[in-house]
Amino acid sequence: MALQWEQVIVDAADPGALGRWWAEALGWVVLNDSADEYEIRPEKDRLPGLLFVPVPERKTIKNRLHLDFRPDDRDAEVDRLLALGARRADVGQGDQPWVVLMDPEGNEFCVLGARRG
């Protein structure tokens, strides 16, 4: 038996707005933009994707799961994401080679430094 990773489900107060933000941040394509699901993927037939679904409650604590991204230039990518509406986050990480940010609904994610070797 084999498993294929299809997508990560993201709870959202406004799935369309948050999905559009992530689509722009990642440069991904929109597969579904209905009122109850907003799905994006790297390419139409490429997995995994992100599926944004509506929930009535707001996020109140640190994520139990978050995404890490490794860009070519960490500082330039952090600046780009901040310009799109991300915010810096302090989750107790201290001084690290990565930067913790939050998307417009407060979901934390990390922008990592350059890979060594």
pLDDT digit string, tens, across residues 50-100: 999 999 988 888 788 899 999 999 999 999 999 999 999 987 777 888 999
Phi, psi of 79 (to 5 degrees): -60, -40
Statement to judge: residues 38 and 63 lie in one domain: no
Joined together, the tokens standing for residue 97 give 């080679």
Question: Domain span at residue 110?
Answer: 59-117
Per-residue model confidence (pLDDT) at position 28: 98
Q: Assess whether 70 and 81 both reside in one domain.
A: yes
Residues 53 and 63 placed together within one structural domain of the fold:
no
Residue 117's pLDDT is 60
Give 116's DSSP letter.
P
Domain count, the chain: 2
Kindly give the pairing relationship between strand 99-102 and strand 87-88.
antiparallel
Shared domain check, 12 and 47: yes
Q: Full-prediction pTM beyond 0.95?
A: no
CATH code, 43? 3.10.180.10
